[in-house]
Amino acid sequence: MAKPKVLIGARIHESVRAYLEGFCECEYCDANGLPREELLGKMSDKAGAIIFGTRVDAAFFDAAPLLKAVCNVSVGYNNVDVDEAKKRGVAVTNTPGVLDETVADLILGLMLSSSRRIAELDRYVRDGAWKPSDGTNLYGSDVHRKTLGIIGMGRIGEAVARRAVGGFSMEVRYYNRHRKPEAESALGVAWRDLDGLLAESDFIVCMMPLTEETRGMIGKREFSLMKPSAFFINASRGQTIDEKALIEALRNGTIAGAGLDVFEVEPIAPDNPLLTFDNVVLTPHLGSATHRTRNEMAMLAARNLKTVLEGGAALTPVY
């Protein structure tokens, strides 16, 4: 029996490639780097696809009449039109769980780097600006024993909370659509409504998934509620934030600084004002980007693909 043909549009490790080639015929490409028409042209005979953020919409499904599974190498799946997939009976999967601790590490790194001005002061030293007379002009802000507000207490939010409470003796507040009594008991965190969290917190971490309800949920009003000493961290999706309002808040001193792994438009435009602020730490959307974690994410996507193509239920289905 002929192996099913699949498109592998994400970078994968050799071990994942070997696993995939054991049950399917793979065509490898950089799906995000291909012209759209060229990508769609590859889909006519494909039963499955492994992708990393590639737009999957009605046109994609039209071009892939044999498609049975779209496997996202990501927790987020706002790149996929899930309603359209349901109509066509195509399974959609993501990769929750395997990246939680890695993303939480980065979030703590952004908190530390922004508050202690690590990236800014690295440039200061490299530029030869360090002087014996330097004093309070180089001071930063403490992280330990401060109050952390987490917007979106999912698995990653809980991993951040564990680090904050156990490692930095922080008070942790969280906002979620549904309260999580088990997390409150286990971690010692407290629920707040969004406005209360914004007003209390010294650090605010946004970890909300991108939906129509969360798009632009943090805007001018929300920034105005934050302390002028607060640091805002976003490692979820750039579109959950009104970026113009964030820029205005930074420019006006409404907040003290920010650490951002995600942006409204990616890659960030060279004329984006965020690039001009010394009190902003920027990373290129790499929350889960360690060798081990990305390999585990790709393997989970591959296992999902195998299961669906063999007629089973997806391991981590989106719906």
Give the tens place of pLDDT for each residue, 223-280: 999 999 999 999 999 999 999 999 999 999 999 999 999 999 999 999 999 999 999 9
Per-residue confidence at 1, pLDDT binned at 50, 70, 90? confident
Separation of alpha carbons 240 and 205, rounded Å: 12
Q: Give catalytic status of residue 266 as yes or no.
A: yes
Cis peptide bond prior to 267, omega within 30° of 0: yes
What does the pLDDT average to over 97-105?
Answer: 97
Mean predicted lDDT score pLDDT of the chain: 97
Sorted by sequence, the CB contacts under 8 Å of residue 288 that are 6+ apart come out as 74, 99, 102, 103, 294, 297
> What's the pTM value of the predicted model, to 2 decimals?
0.93
What does the pLDDT average to over 103-118?
Answer: 98
What does the pLDDT average to over 208-236?
Answer: 96
What does the pLDDT average to over 51-69?
Answer: 97
Identified catalytic residue from 173, 237, 294, 303: 237
pLDDT score of 176: 95
* % of residues, the chain, pLDDT over 70: 100
Q: Where are the beta strands (DSSP E) in 129-240?
A: 147-151, 171-175, 190-191, 203-206, 231-234
Overall size of the chain counted in residues: 319
Identified catalytic residue from 21, 123, 266, 292: 266
Considering Cα of 192, then 193, then 194, then 197, what sign does the dihedral take? negative
Residue 113, Cβ neighbours under 10 Å: how many?
21
Q: How far is CA 186 from the centre of its chain?
A: 25
Provide the pairing of β-strand 5-8 with 25-28: parallel
Q: Nearest Cα to 63, choosing from 31, 107, 93?
A: 31
Sorted by sequence, the CB contacts under 8 Å of residue 189 that are 6+ apart come out as 150, 153, 161, 165, 172, 173, 174, 183
Q: Nearest Cα to 243, choosing from 213, 294, 292, 280?
A: 280
Query: Which helix H or strand E contains 159, and what residues bound it?
Result: helix 155-168
Rg (CA), the chain: 22
Domains of the chain: 5-98+291-309 (3.40.50.720), 100-282 (3.40.50.720)
Give the tens place of pLDDT for each residue, 157-177: 999 999 999 999 999 999 999
Cβ(165)–Cβ(183) below 8 Å: no
Q: Is the pLDDT of residue 57 over 80?
A: yes
Per-residue confidence at 100, pLDDT binned at 50, 70, 90? very high
Separation of alpha carbons 202 and 218, rounded Å: 16
